[in-house]
Each structure stands twice: as C-alpha cells, then as structure tokens.
Amino acid sequence: MLDTLRTAAGTWVAKALLLMLVVSFAVWGISGQLAGGIGGNAVVTAGGTSVSANEFRLAYDRQLSVLSQQIGQRITREQATAFGIEQQVLSQMVAGAVLDEQARKMGLGLSKDKLADLTRQDPAFQGPGGEFDRQQFNYVLQQAGMQPNDYLTSRGKVAIRQQIVEAVSDGMKAPDAFLRAVALYRGEDRTVDYLPLPKSLVEPVEEPSADVLAKWFEENKKSYAAPEYRKISYVKLEPEDIADTSAITDEQITADYETNKAKFSTPETRTIEQIVFKSPEAATAARGSIDAGSTFEDLVKAEGKTEADVLLGTFAKDKVPDNAVAEAAFKMQANEVSSVIQGAFGPVLIRVTNIKPEVVRPLAEVKEEIRNELALVEANRVLLDVHDSYEDARAAGSSLRESAGNLKLKVVTVDAIDRAALRPDGSVVNDLPSSQNLLAGAFETEANVENPALNVGSNGFVFYEVEGITPARDRTLDEVREKVVADWKTAEIQSRLAAKAAELEKRLKEGAAFETLAAEIKSEKQTKRGLKREADDADFGKPGVATVFGVPQGGTGLFSSPQDDAQILFKVTEVFEPASAGPDSVDEEQRNAFSSGLADDLLDQLVARLQSEYTVTVDQAAVQRALAF
C-alpha cells in the first residue's frame, strides 16, 4: 500500500523517467474516469467513482510490460498470474478509486492554471535548458502511448489526491521518545561469560547396533532414495566443433598475415622526458647551455624539478599525448636532447632515454594461429547450413547418431545423470553444454523422442535425446550402509551434546559457578565484553548474538557455534546503556525512514477507512473479459 499511495500522491512530479511515467499513468492516472470499453462494465466501483475494463486492461498491460523489461523476457499470462499482477493492479486501482471518491465528496478541484504549471514543472517534459519543451512533451507521451488530454486528466487527478494525502501525512516525524528507545536498543552492549562445549565431550560414539541402525534408516529412508536417472546423448554444434583446419591453404594464411600484420606486431616504444619552459627565450637559452656542455640533468635542476617531474612516460608513437613531441621523439637517437619544440603546453626540450624497437612475430610463428582463426571464420559462415542439414536428416528419419555421423559431429553420451547433474556415484557431470537448460529439457521429455535444439553460446546449438530412464527408487540399507552409519553418528553426537549442554545450563541456572563447570570438562570460562546487538561476532555469529540479547541480565542460554562444531553455554553478566541515547544519536537517514514509515501507516489506515466508508465492488467477470481481450 505504501507504493500505492506514494504513486497516487504525486510521482508524476517527482519522476522524470519515462518508465515511471508509464507506470504512474497505468496504475493511477486512469482510475476514476467514466466506465466504458470492453463489455461496457466497470471493473471497480467505489461510491460514485468507477474504473472501466479498458482502464484496467491498460494498467495491467503497462504493469506487464514493466515487469517484462525488468527480468529481460516477455511475461506470459500464466507467469503474470503467478506473480500476482492481476491482484496488484486491482488493489492499486481500488486505492486510487476511493481517494478519487473522497476528493469528489470533498469538492476538491484544481485550476487550469495550476495544472498547466504542474505540467511545465514535470522534469520529463523539460528540454536541455530546463524549460518546458512542447516537442519533448509530445515525444514522451507518444512513447507512453498517451494522448495529451489523457495525461492532463490523470495529472489533475493525481494532484487532487495529493491534497488528501498531504493533509494526512505531511510533516510527520518520529517522536523523540521513539527515537530514544531506538538509540537505547541499538546502543546497548553486554558482557558475557561463556563456555564452548565441543563435540569431543561426547565422542567417540560407539557403532550402532543392527536394530538401532535399521530403525534410523527406516525413519530417514527418503533421504537415501536414489533419484531418477536419465541416459542422455547430445551433439554440440558450435564453430569450433566444425572448424576444418585442413581446408585452410598456406596461400590463405600468407594473405591474411600480410593484411593483418599489425595484429602480430608490437609497436616501437620510447621513454620520453620533457621540460616545459615559461617562454621560447628560456627554452632557447636552455638549448644553448646544452650546446655549451651542460647536461639534461643540469637543466632539470636549474628548473627546480626532479627526474620524476620531467618523466612523460613510455609510449608508442600514436599514444604520445602531444603530436609535436611524438614527431620529434621518434626521430631522435637514445639520450639525445631535442631542439626547442613548440608543444601543446608551451616550448619544451625533450630527451629519449630508452628505445624498444618494433617486434613483428614471423609468419612461421603465427601460422597455426592464423589457420585456426580462418577455420573458425569459415565455420561461423557455414554453421547455420550444418544446422539445417542436421535437421533435414532427422526429418528424413535418420537417428541422432546417423545425422551427426554424416556431418562429422561428435556424439557425447552420459550413461546416468540426475536433475542435479550428479552421476550415481555422486560425482558431478560438469562439462554439459547449456547445462541447466539441457537437464531441464531432458527431464521433461520422453525417451527416444527428438527434441528441439537448445541454444548454446552466442551462435551454437545442442541437439539431444534421452536414450533411457531409470526411475527413482528407495535404496536398501546395504547399498548405503556406510553413509547411514556416518549420518547416525553425526545425529547421535548432536543429540548427546545437546543433552549434555542442557544439563550444564540447568546447573548454571541453579547457581553452579561457571568455573566449576569449566573445570569438570577441563576447559576455561571465557568472557566477551562490549558485545553489540547487531554484531556479527566471529565466536558467536549473528544468531548467537541474537540469543544473547534475548535474555535479561543474569540470564543464561545455549546456541550452536558458527562452525556448528560446539554448543556455547553463556550467561549475561553486565548490561550497559549507551552514554548518549537522545534522538540526535539516531542518524538522519534512519530518522527519515522511521518518519516515512509512520506516515505510511497513517496512509494505510486512511485507505482502509475509505474502503469501509464507500461501498467498493470488484466485478471479476469484467476483469476476466478485460484480460481475455
């Protein structure tokens, strides 16, 4: 209901995104108009306000479109039912209708000037300069499938509803007493004495008797059942599966190498140092001092710079930031100082300190790499032809193996696999193409039936058949005895440890000293101070911390360690309230969230009250007619 009321109150003004515009119109802007459309029946009526079947269907389709965009695929009618879209839209339209009816009863209205002003202020309709743009207005409405009059009508209704909502919830703030309680609750910390009770306290566990094991097995028989297994054969068709390197000639390889030689080349790079001078005269004087015997390092010091300051970097020619510097640098010898260059940032002198020449991988080195690439290119070109040839062969009556063999495609067979991609021995079949889709399809089809190809990768296919089905069954104890014994021991250890822990906690509650209990199990009491309610403590974990804060000072309890290798017995010895627990100790974002929540509760109550005050009816037959259209 929160989203419902917020949308009803004014998302038109707040949201510039077209998507929000579409949703707002679909769900809220259309309620409260005259009944009409499909079948001429009102889907929703609230007092004297009604929503037509046409309006409901428009809202439903818009909601469907938004959800389809969110999950990246078109939602079917059946999926929409599963998502509850029909009920969501009905709920939203009922809320909008009762607000409209209340506005009608109160005689609320909106002037044309105010409506025009609200439209001008809508960010969705503003041009680059931030002003209302008529062309943008028409474009946005066209994309949303609206007429201008439809928008203005619904925009006016939203503004009128907003008058009601603002009267109820505007200015709502969480009370200081509530915020103090929150601060006390969140800021409290505790001191806890605790004692880990490891599994070793009850280990080792003896071997179960035959009767005990048989009873355990019968009680947990379903856990050891063998799932349904299927024998699957498949053919993967991707470019690499049909690439024929033997068909690529040496002439093709040589031609490709010459055409794409840059791909096999590492360009020459040079390390460049650069000093930028304030004026051409200063640069010329510096160049003169080089001619007179000064070094580049002398110039760097004279300019008050360091070697790091003048290092431009190591670049290929086309990567040097300054074209003038690039042209000069790639004509110089190593450690040569340039003449004055008019650079992008002023006159400069440069020095090249390291030259790495271009490296071109020879044809002999890359020959097979090129051969494979050309074979893949050709395979991509003919892949759909191979796909069609396979399908034609199957249509003509050839088997999967015959069709694949004629096209030199590999058939892979998995003798037994379950829905979780496990073999009977528990190992994972981890090399299935399009694994999730292949298994889903294989367990939905029948044996020896040709199935539609599945897509794999960007342009590949998987053809598959189920060649045999092994039904699910209950295993016998002898088949799984080793696992059953191990599971029984694990459960028995947990049971005995829980009993031991409960006995120790009972004694602790009755007054036994922690130190006494610790000595009995040859351990030591431990203490944790400053434990916060929302901490994810390494020793306790979040569930353990929640248990600690679920008892008062002096209270005791038990919880499992985060590693599940021990029970932890604890006692809360101290509880400390925070030094500062005023309203201001709750950060602004949280205060706003609490205030918003209180306002939402009031709005929920308003709509509930209006629904009880005005007779609201929903015509399910009209709903079904609208959806069948």
Please indicate, yes or no, whether residues 274 and 141 belong to a single structural domain of this protein: no
CATH of the domain at 147: 1.10.4030
424 domain-assigned: yes
- 433 Ramachandran zone, left/alpha/beta (phi>0; psi -120 to 50): beta
Please indicate, yes or no, whether residues 26 and 100 belong to a single structural domain of this protein: yes
For residue 246, the 8-state DSSP code is G
Which residue, chain included where needed, has tokens 């910390």? Answer: 189
Which residue segment(s) compose the domain that 437 sits in? 229-245+366-470
599 domain-assigned: no
- 474, HSE (Cβ side, Cα atoms, 13 Å): 8
Find the helix or strand (DSSP H, E) in which 380 lies.
Answer: helix 363-395
State the sign of the Cα–Cα–Cα–Cα dihedral 458, 463, 469, 475. negative
Q: Which of 357, 388, 407 marks a domain boundary?
A: 357
Q: Which of 442, 470, 498 marks a domain boundary?
A: 470
Please indicate, yes or no, whether residues 137 and 211 belong to a single structural domain of this protein: no
592 domain-assigned: no
66 domain-assigned: yes
Please indicate, yes or no, whether residues 142 and 35 belong to a single structural domain of this protein: yes
| Cβ contact 475:217 at 8 Å | no
Q: Give the three-class secondary structure for 168.
A: helix
Residue 12, token pair as written in the block:
């038109």
Please indicate, yes or no, whether residues 433 and 557 belong to a single structural domain of this protein: no
* Model pLDDT, residue 39: 42
pLDDT at 564 over 70: yes
Q: Which of 340, 357, 374 marks a domain boundary?
A: 357
Model confidence pLDDT, tens digit, residues 255-302 = 999 999 989 999 999 999 999 999 999 999 999 999 999 999 999 999
Please indicate, yes or no, whether residues 513 and 615 belong to a single structural domain of this protein: no
Please indicate, yes or no, whether residues 234 and 214 belong to a single structural domain of this protein: no
Q: Give the three-class secondary structure for 525.
A: coil
209 domain-assigned: yes
Within 10 Å of residue 129's Cβ, how many Cβ atoms?
A: 7
For residue 37, the 8-state DSSP code is S
Tally of structural domains, the chain: 4
Please indicate, yes or no, whether residues 540 and 505 belong to a single structural domain of this protein: yes
Whole-number mean pLDDT of the chain? 86
Please indicate, yes or no, whether residues 206 and 236 belong to a single structural domain of this protein: no
| Cβ contact 34:50 at 8 Å | yes
CA distance 383 to 394: 17
For residues 563-583, average pLDDT? 89
Residue 142, token pair as written in the block:
């066209």
For residues 123-128, average pLDDT? 77
* Model pLDDT, residue 88: 86
Please indicate, yes or no, whether residues 34 and 138 belong to a single structural domain of this protein: yes
91 domain-assigned: yes
CA distance 272 to 354: 8
CATH of the domain at 285: 3.10.50.40
Confidence of residue 143 (pLDDT cuts 50, 70, 90): low
Q: Give the global pTM.
A: 0.53
Please indicate, yes or no, whether residues 19 and 125 belong to a single structural domain of this protein: yes
| Cβ contact 450:465 at 8 Å | yes
| Cβ contact 432:421 at 8 Å | yes
Q: Give the three-class secondary structure for 584.
A: helix
More confident residue, 591 or 375: 375
CATH of the domain at 526: 3.10.50
139 domain-assigned: yes
For residues 40-54, average pLDDT? 81
Q: What percent of the chain has pLDDT over 70?
A: 92
Please indicate, yes or no, whether residues 68 and 148 belong to a single structural domain of this protein: yes
177 domain-assigned: no
Residue 528 phi/psi, 5-degree rounding, is: -125, 125
Helices 85-106 + 2-14 axis angle, to 10: 70
